[in-house]
């Protein structure tokens, strides 16, 4: 365990206002190296560590009831963040991008004038 020598810095945490019922992931933005935990009714649903990009997709066990889920984000030298997000059904269809594959020459980097092939996998989370 590492001791704290001063008050931690504020962790800039953000996420969507709603966690749709039945989805198996939730995107959170926070300081790199932060740990994210999502729980519902006292049961841990998912955890992840925020990479250098500052955004992590937390895999979660799908929640099937409507209520508030807890989000806790901690990190060394950072003040703990404790928040909640509403778990609820969406009124309309909800489609997510599962995977994007780029085929663009030898380096798979899209460049001016190059012919590109994209393969996109979508998931219908609500119908």
What pLDDT is attached to residue 22?
87
pTM (two decimals) = 0.70
User: How many Cα atoms occupy the beta-carbon half-sphere of 51 within 13 Å?
Assistant: 6
Q: In the CATH hierarchy, which fold is given to the domain comprising 1-89? A: Immunoglobulin-like (2.60.40)
Q: Which residues contact 107 (CB under 8 A, 6 or more apart)?
A: none
Average pLDDT, the chain: 89
CA 12 to chain centre: 14
What pLDDT is attached to residue 4?
60
Could you report the per-residue pLDDT of 53-99, keeping only the tens digit for each?
999 999 999 998 889 999 999 998 999 999 999 998 877 666 777 78
What pLDDT is attached to residue 14?
96
Percent of the chain with pLDDT over 70: 91
Nearest to 8 by CA among 104, 110, 78, 91: 78
β-strand partners of 43? 40
Q: How far apart are CA 49 and CA 58, in angstroms?
A: 8
Query: Domain extents for the chain?
Result: 1-89, 90-127
């Amino acid at each position: 365990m590492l001791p704290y020598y001063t008050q931690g810095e504020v962790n800039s945490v953000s996420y969507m206002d709603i966690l749709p019922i039945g989805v198996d992931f939730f995107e959170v933005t926070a300081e790199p190296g932060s740990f994210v935990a999502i729980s519902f009714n006292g049961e841990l649903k998912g955890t992840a560590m925020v990479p250098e990009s500052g955004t992590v997709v937390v895999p979660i066990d799908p929640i099937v009831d409507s209520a508030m889920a807890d989000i806790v984000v901690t990190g060394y030298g950072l003040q703990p963040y404790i928040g909640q997000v509403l778990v609820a059904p969406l009124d309309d269809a909800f489609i997510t991008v599962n995977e994007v594959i780029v085929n663009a020459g030898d380096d798979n980097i899209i460049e001016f004038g190059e012919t590109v092939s994209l393969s996109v996998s979508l998931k219908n989370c609500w119908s």
